Chains A and B, each alone.
Chain A
């Protein structure tokens, strides 16, 4: 009945971001943007989360943490790459220490562009992610439970 669309809980992880996008993610919870009016909660616990919002160009140190967080989230789950670093690596993509984007590690469902991403576009991206969450749920119901490891 579309309950995922009404109550998506977001886990935010900073994968070596410059903090610009992180501040914008937090800003979207403030009175001006108020993410909670959509029922969205910024949770700190992967086991409660439906959406993983990742900022920053992932490096070798944060890679394992990111994988751990993703694997601890119960299905159905969606990954949102917030900001240009998370989508492609941005100006850091040629650096030797950077993997260049979340999609090198996890299957990303929504890319939110911007350096730093605007709160409006973050909210847009997360609401888009809610629709994908619904799709994933109905697919799971139809085809049965997919393998835990992808």
Chain B
């Protein structure tokens, strides 16, 4: 692991970006497959093969293209591009704030994709997605602020190599980040806008009008996003790479566990609880930190 770490440290910015663009979908897809397998085992089922998300994506690329209007695919391609861009920036060790803002921009294009079609289910899903964004965005920015307070830099490369454990300074921020990670991973109880399970409520929400290869692009963007978010979990434990990777994976399993144990929240509760948790855990942590310094 240490040798891998050193090799990565010796890479230039473009090599790291390329590594992210090529490897992240493999890791993300594999994680999604593990997710489905573990979820099935939680429910006492056998579950699909671990490579199932890749099979799904390959199949979707072979399906006929049905496009409702020409703006629909344009928005989704931009969603994918900006997700890749923010992930590549993050893994190249660039500015954490820029990563967060371009990820928010990617999410905005996704919402626009949902709004540009006529289906009421898609509109409802897009409205819920906006509420989710408003719910999680403050906490993500607090993560960057907290890390800046401890390390004195917004650069991911500096934060990742900071020798003191960030988690000891930012336990509240980490707890708040865990809370909103459930929204970002699109897990119950916060899977309001496009649930993987039970398509009955609003059919498939935001992705109702997307089919074939466009749907596959949405899935792939989600894989990229998941890897980026687990990378942000890594930063909290950057002082020890082994521990950091372990905690990132444990976080993912924890989110699956939460997913299996909760019914869906209403949007009021989603919004209220995440802002309350952001205030209690995140803001208070940052205030305490600024008083200590």
Mark A residues whose CB is within 8 Å of B. 1, 3-4, 6-7, 30-31, 34, 36-39, 42-45, 47-48, 50, 72, 74-76, 137, 145
List chain B residues, Cβ under 8 A from A1.
58
Residues of A within 8 A of B52 (CB): 6-7, 39
Query: Do A44 and B203 touch across chains, with their CB atoms under 8 A apart?
Result: yes
| Shortest beta-carbon distance from B280 to chain A in Å | 37
Of B47, B63, B208, the contact of A37 (CB 8 Å cutoff): B47
In this assembly, does B56 line the interface, its C-beta being within 8 Å of a C-beta of chain A? yes
Given the known interface contacts A4-B59, A7-B59, A137-B62, the answer about A47 and B46 at a Cβ–Cβ threshold of 8 Å is no
Given A48-B215, A74-B63, A75-B63, the answer on whether A43 and B204 have CB atoms closer than 8 Å is: yes
In contact, B49 and A39 (Cβ under 8 angstroms): yes
Q: Which residues of A contact B208 (CB under 8 A)?
A: 45, 47
Q: Which residues of chain B have C-beta atoms less than 8 A from A75's C-beta?
A: 63-64
Q: Do A37 and B48 have beta carbons less than 8 Å apart? A: yes
Contact of B209 among A34, A44, A47, A145 (CB under 8 A): A47
B66 contacts A by Cβ under 8 Å: yes
B200 proximal to A (CB < 8 A): yes
Interface residues of B in 236-273 (CB under 8 A from A): none
Tell me whether B40 and A36 are in contact (CB under 8 A): yes
* Cα(A133)–Cα(B58), bound, Å: 15
- Among A1, A4, A30, A48, residue most surrounded by chain B Cβ atoms (within 10 Å): A48
Known contacts A34-B40, A74-B63, A74-B65; decide if A47 and B56 are in contact (CB<8 Å).
no
A-B contact count, CB below 8 Å? Answer: 76
- Whether B43 is near chain A, meaning CB under 8 Å from some CB there, is yes
| Further 12 A-B residue pairs, CB within 8 A, beyond A74-B64, A75-B63 | A6-B55, A6-B59, A34-B46, A36-B36, A37-B46, A37-B48, A39-B56, A44-B200, A45-B208, A47-B210, A48-B204, A48-B207
- Residues on B facing A (Cβ under 8 Å): 36, 40, 43-49, 52, 55-56, 58-59, 62-66, 199-200, 203-204, 207-212, 215
Q: Contacts of B46 on A, CB cut-off 8 Å?
A: 34, 37
Residues of B within 8 A of A39 (CB): 48-49, 52, 55-56
Q: In the bound complex, do residue A36 and residue B65 qualify as a contact, i.e. CB atoms below 8 Å apart?
A: no
By the criterion CB–CB under 8 Å, are B47 and A7 in contact? no
A47: which of B40, B200, B211 is its contact (CB, 8 Å)? Answer: B211
A74→B62 contact, CB < 8 A: no
Distance in angstroms between the alpha carbons of A50 and B44 in the assembled complex: 26
**Complex Cα gap A35–B109 (Å):** 35
Q: For the complex formed, measure the closest distance between the CB of B21 and the CB atoms of chain A, giving whole angstroms.
A: 23
Set A4, A37, A145: member contacting B45, Cβ < 8 A: A37
Query: How far apart are the CA atoms of A112 and B176 in the complex, in Å?
Result: 51
> Min CB distance, A22 to chain B, in Å?
13
Give the CA-CA distance A135 to B222 in the complex, in Å. Answer: 31
In the complex, the 10 A-B pairs of residues with the closest C-beta atoms, listed nearest first: A44-B199, A47-B211, A74-B64, A3-B59, A6-B55, A75-B64, A31-B44, A3-B58, A34-B45, A7-B55
Nearest B-chain residue to A44, judged by Cβ = B199
Complex CA–CA separation, A69 to B84 (angstroms): 35
A44: chain B residues within 8 A (beta carbon): 199-200, 203-204
Q: Report A20 CB to chain B, min CB distance, Å.
A: 20
The answer to whether A7 and B204 touch (CB under 8 A), given A37-B48, A38-B48, A45-B199, is no
Q: Which residues of the partner chain A approach B215 to less than 8 Å between Cβ atoms?
A: 48
Q: List, in ascending order, chain A residues with CB within 8 A of B200's CB.
A: 44
Q: List 17 A-B contacts (CB under 8 A).
A: A1-B58, A4-B59, A6-B49, A6-B55, A30-B45, A36-B40, A36-B47, A37-B47, A37-B48, A39-B52, A44-B200, A47-B208, A47-B210, A74-B63, A74-B65, A75-B64, A137-B62
Q: A50 to chain B: which residues have CB within 8 Å?
A: 59, 63
